[in-house]
Amino acid sequence: MLPKNVAMLWGGVEDNDGKDYNFACSFSDYTSVTKYKEAEIIVLGDESLMTGIIQKDKHSIFIIRWVYADTESHIIDLIEHTDFNHISNCETQRQIFFATTDYVLFDSVDKFENISDYLTFIVEPGVYSIDTYEIGNATTKVIVDRVMEMSEKTASKS
């Protein structure tokens, strides 16, 4: 996930002997924050899963990776009925500085300029926290990244 203007430079496996793709694959955590072409980006690690975005507003985004579920409505219901402030299995909190507003999420294997299938969202520039959760029940399991703008008091430049 990176700024759309920077994504235009992403070469996937096609350009530069696959260096961009290999770079993305070098992260093994569910979610990592790193630099690419001077921009802070989010790399979604682990395995390739169907992914979607729920954007409540320009200050709060949920990135949802579908592990298993009968339907999309089961996932939305699970997200809506989860109190993320009281989950104990939160992966380490990370911070990211969004310098621009237009971001895209796409499969790192592809050269960005060649694809039309990507997710897009708009955020207000600022410092955001990223909390990663694995939530589920007997029929539904998802990995959720809650990306929320931090107040000036709690934000520290990463």
pLDDT exceeds 90 at position 111: yes
116 belongs to a structural domain: yes
Residue 154 domain-assigned?
no
Residue 153 has pLDDT above 50, yes or no: no
pLDDT at residue 157, as a whole number: 45
In total, how many domains does the chain have? Answer: 1
Q: Is 27 a domain residue?
A: yes
Which residue range(s) make up the domain with 54? 2-149
pLDDT at 152 over 80: no
- pTM here is 0.86
Q: Is residue 158 part of a domain?
A: no
pLDDT given at position 68: 94
Q: Which position has the token pair 């998802």? A: 142
pLDDT in tens, 24-82: 999 988 899 999 998 999 999 877 888 999 887 888 899 999 999 999 999 999 988 88
Does a structural domain hold residue 157? no
pLDDT > 60? residue 119 = yes
Residue for token pair 């699970």: 78
The per-residue pLDDT for range 79-109, each reduced to its tens digit, is 888 888 888 777 767 899 998 889 999 999 9
Is residue 10 classed exposed, middle or buried when 0-12, 13-18 and 19+ CB atoms within 10 A define those classes? buried
pLDDT at 158 exceeding the cut of 60: no
Residue 155 lies in a domain: no
Coarse DSSP helix, strand, coil percentages of the chain, rounded to the nearest 5 percent = 20, 45, 40
Residue-level pLDDT at 92: 66
